[in-house]
Amino acid sequence: MSDTSRRPMARTSLKWSMIEEKLSVADTFRLIADLGFDGVELDAPNDLPRDEVLAARDATGVAIPGVINSVHWKTPLTDPDPAVREACVAATIEAMSLAKSYGAQTMLLVPGVVNDATSYAAAYDRAVEGIDRLLPHAEEIGISIALENVWNNFLLSPLEAAHLVDGFDSPRLGWYFDVGNVMRYGRPADWIEALGSRILRIDIKEYSLTRMNAEGPWKGFDVALGEGDVDWAGVNASLAAVGYSGWVSVEMPGGDRHHLADLKQRLDRIVSL
């Protein structure tokens, strides 16, 4: 597995959902170890037998650095319906408890969604209210909430994202910065500079501005890792400048072990720039 030197993206992981072979929990962890990843992130809550997950983690040495909230799209924290928001809070608390049992440090949370039913201002107010309810549980459980920038029409400025985090003055709230997601409307270096020490985790995906301009925004993701328009050397330099040295998780289309092995080689090239 990769070393833990002071390079910005020091330890590598992938998402459990990217593994498209039908394997037992134990064999899935062995595959992750054989591929050379240091860790894997699971959705939570989930239906995986926890005892099997913990046994496989311990047997292989593959860490679980974080979990991904599995309900924040279906039941957004900013939904107009209070019952939906309540369901998100309850599931998020469950996810944090499961993360702690895995030995994870973070839980990825999409803070809200702006759409025809939810205005930007309403989303901000509801996100603040929801996070305010969740933070005491995060502090009690011992898990950090890492908010992610996604295509949710919300928190589109890095200064606004930093302001939201700072408003809580809690060491248990930070940012899960997704490099590829920001390419549509910003420069990764600007986000990294603005977020600074608030960055708890890094997500990597590739993006092509050329394809975006020619074929539409979503087509920008249809490019192999390392073959798009992300300045990965610049990303590393920006992360080093703000003192980041930690986990990076690749989030690209999944596949079998051969596809994932190629993805790991591409990731290794990026993190070493």
Give the pLDDT mean for 74-103. Answer: 97
CA distances in angstroms from 222 to 206, 215, 231, 250, listed in the order given: 8, 10, 17, 15
What does pTM read for this prediction?
0.96
CA distances in angstroms from 86 to 44, 76, 172, listed in the order given: 17, 9, 21
204 within 8 A of 270, measured Cβ to Cβ: yes
What per-residue confidence (pLDDT) applies to 5? 56
The third-level CATH classification (topology) of the domain covering 9-262 is TIM Barrel (3.20.20)
Read off the DSSP letter of residue 255: B
CA distances in angstroms from 7 to 10, 11, 54, 236, listed in the order given: 5, 9, 29, 8
Give the pLDDT mean for 247-254. Answer: 98
The band of 4, judged by pLDDT with boundaries at 50, 70 and 90, is very low
Of all residues in the chain, what percent are helix, strand and coil, respectively (each to 5)?
45, 20, 35
Tens digit of each residue's pLDDT (9 = 90 or more) over 124-159: 999 999 999 999 999 999 999 999 999 999 999 999
The band of 71, judged by pLDDT with boundaries at 50, 70 and 90, is very high
Read off the DSSP letter of residue 20: -
Tens digit of each residue's pLDDT (9 = 90 or more) over 161-215: 999 999 999 999 999 999 999 999 999 999 999 999 999 999 999 999 999 999 9
What per-residue confidence (pLDDT) applies to 244? 97
Phi, psi of 169 (to 5 degrees): 50, 50
